[in-house]
Amino acid sequence: MVKKRYSHIVFLPTPKYRVSNIVIKEFYTQRIRRRLTRHLNNLQIWKMGRRVARHLPPTKGAPVIFFKASSGIDDFSWNAAFHLLSSWAFRLQGIPVRFFACNAGMTHCVLGTNREHVAQKPPCKSCVYQSKTLYTGADANWFSFNGDEELDRALVNLSLADLQQFNFNGIPLGELSLPGLRWILRRHHLVDDEKTRYLLREYIRSAWNIAQKFELMIKGEKPRAVVVFNGQMY
């Protein structure tokens, strides 16, 4: 009996529903792993924060203000790590530290922007949880958002060019907000459409709120220095 030899093998394609199930399963697996890793990391940060607080020497002199402008929302980024380690080093030398921390203080922030759905609100709850973990045992000034009717009226119906040059009470808010807008949209030459104008308006409103709240903190604390990480965004 002679066995037949086949010159090629035909592989049947995997059914589409099986591919979809595999992709969905992998997506949720990675999501669960990411959440678990985040909470385990935060537990270690929380423990170290309490340990630092227990070993602080007496403080002296004016404080140093730390502002983590755009260094991560719900992940422990490199900038967030340097921000935290630097503040711990200052505090362990007896230098008082105050954190300027966001508590839903912006209508839209750069890292919380969804380019495909620009009106979607940022994940403030997750971000605040992360910040509270980082500032365990420390003094933080939490700022929230307060709208300004005069500013809102001034922004109505402005073109993109006008928004880019927008100046309010002596502060070039449009120019200051541009780097963040260009970064999140991944383009330098912006398109004058409603999506772009909407984001720039909201960034300007948020920037003005930050400027007001930060000025109040500066006047109240009278710090010897301010340390800003990744401050190009705001």
**CA 70, CA 112: separation in Å to the nearest integer?**
10
The CA distances from residue 205 to 108, 115, 175, in Å, are 9, 18, 13
Listed residue (118, 119, 200, 216) closest to 166, CA to CA: 200
pTM of the model as a whole: 0.82
Give all strands of the β-sheet with 139-143 in edge-to-edge order. Answer: 139-143, 97-102, 64-68, 225-229
Label each residue of 65-105 as H, E or C: EEEECCCCCCCCCHHHHHHHHHHHHHHHCCCCEEEEEECCC
Contact 141, 68 (CB under 8 A): no
Identify the band that residue 233 occupies on the pLDDT scale cut at 50, 70 and 90: low
Domain range list for the chain: 16-229
The residue to which tokens 């940060």 are assigned:
45
According to the model, what pLDDT value does residue 73 have? Answer: 78
Question: Is residue 2 predicted with pLDDT exceeding 50?
Answer: no
Beta-bridge partner residues of 227: 66
Helix-strand-coil split of the chain, %, nearest 5: 50, 10, 40
Note the pLDDT of residue 18.
64
Q: What is the mean pLDDT of residues 138-166?
A: 97
Lowest mean pLDDT among 32-41, 116-125, 155-164, 212-221: 32-41
pLDDT tens digit sequence for 88-131: 999 999 999 999 999 999 999 998 999 999 999 999 999 999 99
What pLDDT score was predicted for residue 24?
Answer: 73
- What is the mean pLDDT of the segment spanning 133-162? 96
H/E element, 73:
none
Name the one residue in this structure whose structure tokens are 């963040």.
Answer: 180
Q: Could you tell me the pLDDT band of residue 30, with boundaries at 50, 70 and 90?
A: confident
